[in-house]
Amino acid sequence: MVRFASLLVIAPALFAAQIPITSYVAPAGDTGSFFYQDTGGIELTNGLYGVIPFANQAQADPWVGWATGSHTNPLLTFNFGGPVNIGRVDLDLARWQSPAGIFLPSSINIGGTVFNLTGTELPDNSRGTLSFNVNFVGVSSLNVQLFHGGSWLFLDEAQFFTPAVTGGVPEPSSILLSGLGVCALAVISLRMRRSIT
């Protein structure tokens, strides 16, 4: 009997691992037509994503919103509970310019690295995740500052990831050829066993 399990080759991981956030400090947020506040200190890391546009308090709840006049360029500090290496930061933001006045940030400062935005990275009347490639080694916390691009800034989730695996990822054609080679070895082994018996 041919044992295919012994012939399997496990490819290296293709994706970076998410880094757990133990806590964060951020301005609580503001109120407008609804409450856009993070009173429990969990809204930005609880895995709940908001909708845009929203029509009631339940749909507004996942969002933390900062008005220009109340919180100029909110500064958020995320803590990881120990030294980590960070290769990517994902921020889930909203853009609903008319009539709500929710704009994307004009720029974002992540640990001293400034990313300038055009304001059109997301279509109007939508939400989405923007990813920022960074390189931080052995950090236990990281500051993220959002710079206003209009009347309101809305954020509902922040995620941090280890650097992605950079080498040894086979191309699809290589995987196909390897699979054919494994099949050929299995057939040869099976024929050899049959000829012996």
Q: Are 103 and 150 in contact (CB under 8 A)?
A: yes
Same domain, 113 and 155: yes
By CB atoms closer than 10 A (0-12, 13-18, 19+), residue 62 is buried
Same domain, 112 and 186: no
The pLDDT of residue 66 is 96
Model pTM greater than 0.75?
yes
* pLDDT < 50 positions in the chain: 1-13, 174
The pLDDT of residue 10 is 39
The pLDDT of residue 83 is 98
CATH number at residue 108: 2.60.120.1190
Distance CA(47)–CA(155), nearest Å, equals 12
What is the number of domains present in the chain?
2
The pLDDT of residue 6 is 32
* Number of neighbours of residue 75 by Cβ within 10 angstroms: 14
Q: Distances in Å between the alpha carbon of 152 and those of 94, 106, 130?
A: 10, 11, 17
Q: In terms of residue numbers, what domain contains 188?
A: 4-11+169-196
The pLDDT of residue 185 is 53
The pLDDT of residue 69 is 83
